[in-house]
Amino acid sequence: MQKINIKNKFLFFILFNIFYSVFYLYYKHEVGNDTSISEWLINYQGGFTRRGLGGEINIFLAKITTLNLRDAIFFFQSFIHIIYLLFVYFFLKNIKLNIFQIFALFSPLFLLYPIAELEALGRKEILIFLFFVSILLLCEKKFNPIYINSFVFLFFPILTLIWEEITIFAPFFCIVIIYENKLVSFKNVLKKLLIIFFPTILTLLFIFLNPLSLEGHSQMCDFLKNIFDEKCYMSAELLIINTIYFDTFDVHQEVNFFPEYFRYIMIFLIGFLPLHLSINKNKFINEENFITKNFRPIWLFFTLYFPVLLLFAFGHDWGRWMHIMYSLSILLYFYLLKNSLIENIFYENFLSKLISKKKFLLILVFFIFAFFWNPKTLISGDVATNSLYKIIYNSSKIIFNYDSIRIFQNNPIIIFHKKFIE
C-alpha cells in the first residue's frame, strides 16, 4: 500500500490544534464551574493531599508573576498544551504512512478530542502525554538507556503527586524501558522496573496513607478564598468525597447496557479500529527482548488496556479514559514503527482495495471518521456529532459576538441546524 508524506498537512493540523486549544483555554478559564480549573486549585495549604502539587505550582506562578490564580493556571495549561503538540509534530513529522495509519493518526480519540470536548481540555492527563512523548523523543536521539531510566525515576513520582492516576498508565512506559534496556528475562525486567519505579511506589503509598482530613480540606478552601477569592468547587470540592480508596463504584447504579455500555463498546471498536487494523497481522521483527519473545503486537496492546479498566470501573469520565488510552497507544505504535521494531504491512482485503481506489469515497469516509464525531466526557453523555464544524462555528460565535445563524427562522435547513448541529 502506498505510503504518504504527511509533514505539511500534519503541521497545519497541529497549528490548528494549538490555536483552538489556547483559544478555548482562555475562553473557559474564567468560567466558575469548569472542572479543568477546579482540579488545578487543589493545594497543600491544609496539609498534604493527593493532587496538591499542581495547585502549589500554579500558586507559586501566581505569586511570582502577580497574576491572579486563574490567569496563572491558564498560562500553565497553554504552555503545556503547546509544548505537547509541538513535540508530537517533531516526533511524527518525517514518517510516511499508509491510509489506514493516517486514519489512526487522525482518530477523534487523539489530538482533536480536547478541543471537540471542552470538558477534557486543560485536564491533568496532558502531563502524561507530554511526559510520554518526551521519552519517545529522547529514545529517538539514541541516548544511553540510563538517561531514559533516570528521567522516569525522577519525574514519574512528581507527576504522581499532581495526578495519582498516571500510575495506571505506567505499563506504556514500561514497554519503552524494556526495549531501550534490551531486557530479555522476566527476572531482569522485574528487577529493573522495580528500581526505576521505586520512588513512584513509595509516593503512591504515601498518598494512600495520608488522606486529607475534613479540617485540612476546610483550611485549603479558606486559603483559596482569602488569598485568591476562589471557592472550592467540582474537583476541589469532591477531593474528600470521591476518595482514592476505590469507593466510587456506585457510578454504575444508574447506568444500563443500552445505551451507555453499548455506546462505549462501539466507541472503542470504531475509534481504535484503524490502529488495530494496522497492528493486527503484523509481528515483531526480532525476538531480542522480553516483549517480543512473549507477545504478539495486538495482544500486547490489549494487555496494556487491561489496567485502565480500573478507571472505567470507578470513574464517570469514560470519554477521557478512552482519549488517554488511545493517545498513549498510538504514540507507542509509532515508536515501534519508527524504530523498526514491528512490521509495517497492511494485509489488504476487498473492502480496503475498494475504498483506496475510490478517492472521493475515501476522502468522505476519512472526514466522517476523523471530524464528524467524538465521545462526550461522561459515561452518560451521548456521542457528539459534527466535531470539526462545531469547533470552528462555536469559536466564531465567541469571536464575532453573535448568538447563532438565523437568517430564515422557519427554513427547514435552519430548523435542522438548530436542532441537530448546534
Residue 414 maps to a domain: yes
Residue 229 maps to a domain: yes
Residue 408 has pLDDT above 60, yes or no: no
Looking at residue 241, what is its pLDDT? 87
Does 334 lie in the same domain as 402?
A: no
Looking at residue 418, what is its pLDDT? 62
Q: 351-371 burial, b if ≥16 CB within 10 A, otherwise e?
A: ebeebbeeeeeeeeebeebbb
Does 410 lie in the same domain as 291?
A: no
Residue 142 maps to a domain: yes
Q: Which has the closest alpha carbon to 263: 178, 375, 417?
A: 375
Does 360 lie in the same domain as 416?
A: no
Instruction: Annotate 8-20 with DSSP letters as a single string.
Output: HHHHHHHHHHHHH
Q: How far apart are CA 386 and CA 372, in angstroms?
A: 4
Does 404 lie in the same domain as 270?
A: no
Kindly report the backbone phi and psi dihedral angles of residue 243, in degrees, each rounded to the nearest multiple of 5, phi listed first: -90, 180
Does 407 lie in the same domain as 322?
A: no
DSSP 261: I
Looking at residue 37, what is its pLDDT? 95
Does 341 lie in the same domain as 272?
A: yes
Q: Give residue-wise pLDDT tens across range 162-181.
A: 999 999 999 999 999 999 99
Q: Give residue-wise pLDDT tens across range 201-244.
A: 999 999 999 999 999 999 999 999 999 999 999 999 999 888 87
Does 249 lie in the same domain as 164?
A: yes
Looking at residue 415, what is its pLDDT? 66
**What's the domain count of the chain?**
2
HSE-CB of 36 using CA atoms within 13 angstroms: 29
Q: Answer whether 77's CB lies under 8 Å from 25's CB.
A: yes
Which residues are within 8 A (CB) of 414 and not within 5 positions of it... i.e. 6 or more apart? 405, 406, 407, 408
Looking at residue 11, what is its pLDDT? 97
Q: Which three cell numbers stand for residue 31?
A: 468560567
Cβ burial of 65 (10 Å; 0-12, 13-18, 19+) is exposed
Residue 297 has pLDDT above 80, yes or no: yes
Place of cell 469548569: 34
Q: Answer whether 4's CB lies under 8 Å from 103's CB.
A: no
Does 391 lie in the same domain as 366?
A: no
Does 141 lie in the same domain as 209?
A: yes
Does 184 lie in the same domain as 41?
A: yes
Does 413 lie in the same domain as 332?
A: no
Cβ burial of 154 (10 Å; 0-12, 13-18, 19+) is exposed
Residue 379 maps to a domain: no
Of the pLDDT bands very low, low, confident and very high (cuts 50, 70, 90), residue 161 is very high
Residue 279 maps to a domain: yes
Does 416 lie in the same domain as 360?
A: no
Residue 408 maps to a domain: yes
Of the pLDDT bands very low, low, confident and very high (cuts 50, 70, 90), residue 91 is very high
Which amino acid type is present at position 193?
L
Q: Give residue-wise pLDDT tens across range 352-404.
A: 676 677 888 889 999 999 999 999 999 999 999 999 999 999 999 999 887 76
Instruction: State the CB neighbour count (10 A cutoff) for residue 315.
Output: 17
Q: What is the dihedral of CA 282, 167, 145, 54, to 10 degrees?
A: 130
Separate counts of helices (H) and strands (E) for the chain = 22, 4
Looking at residue 301, what is its pLDDT? 98
Instruction: Annotate 307-332 with DSSP letters as a single string.
Output: GGHHHHHH-S-HHHHHHHHHHHHHHH
Range(s) of the domain holding residue 395 = 386-421
Mean pLDDT to the nearest integer, 54-73: 97
Q: How far apart are CA 365 and CA 383, in angstroms?
A: 18
